[in-house]
Structure 1
Amino acid sequence: MRFRHPDGSIVHLAYCTNVHPAEDLDGVIAQLNGCSSLVRKELDVPVLGVGLWLANTLADRLANSSDALNRLKQALARNNLEVVTLNGFPYAGFHDRVVGKKVYLPDWTESARLDYTLDLVKVLADLLPDDASYGSISTLPLAWRVPWSRTRDAAARDAFNRLENRLAQVEATTGRRIRVAIEPEPGCVLEMIPQAAHWLTPYSGRSLIGLCLDTCHLAVQFEQPVDAFAVLARAGVEVVKSQVSAALQIADPSDPAARELLAEFAEPKFLHQTREYGGPGVDDLDLVGELSGHASWRVHFHVPVHAAPRPPLTSTTDVLDESLRHLVGGAHPLTHHLESETYTWSVLPSAPKNQQELAEGIAGELAWLRGRLVGLGLEEIK
């Protein structure tokens, strides 16, 4: 979906396909023909943006086979889908029975992470629409927080410097501007905006490497959007892309009804880091007994933005709304790429029963976001 900002520039809204389990080309094409096509029809839009997730083996194949890449292009065109952004955070196995901390491997100290990202750069340069101002790839915030050291940090810095050089070469040779965005996440080396802004400062003003702002992660850390955007502005770090999502929230963890409902979200597949306001945090929902329960909790569980959880649980759509005002509500957008990333549909207490229900849920989120963008003065392009 495309929107025209009052300044005349185009803001893209897509949904992230990491909600789908396919990791090979046939599977990805099937998901485009199926769920993605259904989402577009539900929304009744001429073109739907999809933020593709490509597992490492498929990224390698697409980067090195024109036949494979053409098959993907044909599937996108056939279903009136476009790609301006890729999710380069998960490497593989994102729909294994248990994902947990595996999602942070390989990290940015390992050559496999850079190789994978460079494959994505090559693929996106080919998929990017001719009229798109740039393409974006989100990636993990270096690594899980332990183990970490100056030596590992230096290795990650070297990898990003090499990446920056390659991005500049791609732009010079193809005219395609591809940007990579580090996505802060609870529990990682870079989990809060000030940490990420500090690490990214060497790239400020050079614009090919910047930040992916996930509004769920921002909320889980109890960061205030106004403060986060002020920190980024002072550091000169650009928001390359934003994943517009909501976290699970428990205002009163001492409420037995809230704890009973919260237990329904404790599932083994994904990591659900939990933070207590003004206090410590734990790395998953099954550890919340270590928290005091004297202040509100926020949980890294991406919940549908358009459908509030059962009371007394709530979600952090207020943080999302405020973030959107900063991102696209000003005189000029701070980013032109917005991506809905609710990958947890399959593990929700009331999960969709089939592809049609999933498509309706994804379309519902995008429609909710569309309403917010129009309310901020953007005009949907049809």
Structure 2
Amino acid sequence: MTNNCDTKSNPPEGIDEAIVARAGELVPEIRSRSEEIHTLGRIPRDLFDRLLEKGLFDLSTPRNRGGLQANVKTRKAAIAELGRGDLSVGWVAAVMNNAAWVLYALFPQHIQDRLSATPGGFRGCVAASLVKAKVRKASGGYVIEEGRWAFNSGVYHANWDLLAIPLVNETGDLTDLGFALVPIEDITILDDWDVTGLRGTGSSGILVKDVFVSGDLVTPASALFAGETQASLATAPLYRTAADPLLTISQLFPLLGAAQTAIDISLDRLPGRVIYGLNEMKIESAVTHLQIGEITAKIDAADLLVRNSAEALDLNAESIGDYMPPLDRARIRRDIALAVRLIIEAVDMLATSYGGSAAGVGDPMGRVWRDLRVATLHGLLVPTTGFELYGRLLCGQPLKAAMV
């Protein structure tokens, strides 16, 4: 099969270190406020505003609209830095940048103009976890008669919500799945996010009742995953990036930074600690050295897999060739799956070697460990799905997933 990740065009753009530095400058403050973020259940408003001022929610926004239009490699590095401060902050940044990418890659110019003119700029979140929705076709669009969605990360800071909805015809038959942009004032936030990890994402459930959505604020999911982008931005590589692997890998970026923080916490605590039941200092123990060697290898391997996938996405988008073939997209999902599994194994080993203190609600290792474990429960990051997608295609079986 032809691999469209290979190209003889100009070399791909590198990482924009200035953008990454913006994120890095905030890491000490974010880390120092992790307890506050966790307790509040969302990013504090003043901290969110500073992230906003530094453009860290505008990585997917076009330069001609005041954004940074960062490539995938730069997005990886910047969001991983935010995850190094606090995983919830990095997670929300990933979601909001994904929402912006969908707006500027798939919606028509006049909708981009309208939403960009929202006071404070477009600040989108995504509600893809549809619990139930009753939708009917109406003149000029759709009416969401009643709908409920779960896990709406970043909703407390958004002004638009990208809702997954069923698309139906005039007789009520399902024709496609779609994404509808709905202003936040038409949404009821349930304030029901009470979890053991990722508490600071504010991933509350939401309700929508009797809301009309004009047709130009709806895009079919089939267009998203077939690589159909708006002609106005088709020449910008970022908006030609393969949608499913981009949106999936973006949610993994902050986990890489959080995993590094877990290592830092563990190493900082080693001096003076004794192995329980033995008269041996942990920092001098061969067991500790073996554990740290394996843990760091796993996290470095995960980072390398993600870095190579980001490079492949950028190369394909910059090649001005065909949309990335399904097997190449599935290969990235497979590599994401392995990276997630390596991170899970590494942080579980870290928590075990750290000891019972990791069970403490206020312990920094415990918080990072729980955040990472909850993050890896997200449907896009469950390893078995990514492995199956690739294995199924490699075995010559038809694709059965809506995504990829």
TM-score over 0.5 for the alignment?
no
Computing the radius of gyration from Cα coordinates, the structure with the larger value is: 2
TM, length-normalised to structure 1: 0.26
TM-score by length of 2: 0.25
Q: Which has the higher helix share?
A: 2
